[in-house]
Amino acid sequence: MKNYILLGIVLLALFGCASQQPVDNSQPSANNTVQPASGNTVVVLETSKGNIEIELYADKAPVTVNNFLMYVNEHFYDGTVFHRVMDGFMIQGGGFTPEGVERYTRDPIPLESQNGLHNGIGYVAMARTEDPNSATSQFFINVADNSMLDYSGPDNPGYAVFGKVISGMDVVNTIKSVPVSTRGYYENWPVEDVLIVHAYVKSQ
């Protein structure tokens, strides 16, 4: 069983396409839509709670962005759920069906956490196991300033940020507040399914 996002980091959090232009590290507001930098790819997640648009930073995390886009273009995410929701931390999806079945994925990718991007509110990163180079399809959207998830040295390799929500933070905020329970081995699973109905690249 894969345990994405280390339990210790979760507890710590609860308690205690590419342009060479600079990345906007400001925190997105709930309803504002931000225009992506010229040349950056935007992916739309149509969810059962509304649409979320994510700008991808391929200049900062090329392998991660390419991997994410392969899953998007193969319609892998269609019909999956946000299976781990932790208000005050993050919302995670991209790997499970509503029935709790984990989808078969491509091989893991190398970690690209040393890219200057920050696990701040609205930023999107890859989930992984305790192995730094184990990310496949699952991703999470930060709903808090999770600086402890950033790379800080060999003892804390961090989590690779590769995108940012530029529209639909109100949807993210709705999802982060849904009631959760335990399903099988998995905690913080929404009581009512939060579906990714369709994921696709937004036309320029």
Q: Quick one: which H or E segment has residue 80?
A: strand 80-86
Amino acid 33: pLDDT: 78
Provide the domain limits for residue 38: 7-21+31-201
Residue 2 covered by a domain: no
Q: How far apart are CA 99 and CA 107, in angstroms?
A: 23
CATH number at residue 41: 2.40.100.10
Residue 95 covered by a domain: yes
Structure tokens that stand for 165 in this block: 């929500």
Mean pLDDT within 40-67: 98
Residue 26 covered by a domain: no
Would the pLDDT of 59 be above 90?
yes
Return the DSSP state at 47: E
Residue 39 covered by a domain: yes
pLDDT one-digit tens code per residue, 3-23: 455 444 443 443 333 333 344
Residue 110 covered by a domain: yes
Q: How far apart are CA 12 and CA 36, in angstroms?
A: 32
Residue 1 covered by a domain: no
Count of the separate structural domains present in the chain: 1
Amino acid 37: pLDDT: 82
pLDDT one-digit tens code per residue, 123-173: 999 999 999 999 999 999 999 999 999 999 999 999 999 999 999 999 999
Residue 103 covered by a domain: yes
Residue 191 covered by a domain: yes
Q: What is the pTM of this model?
A: 0.87
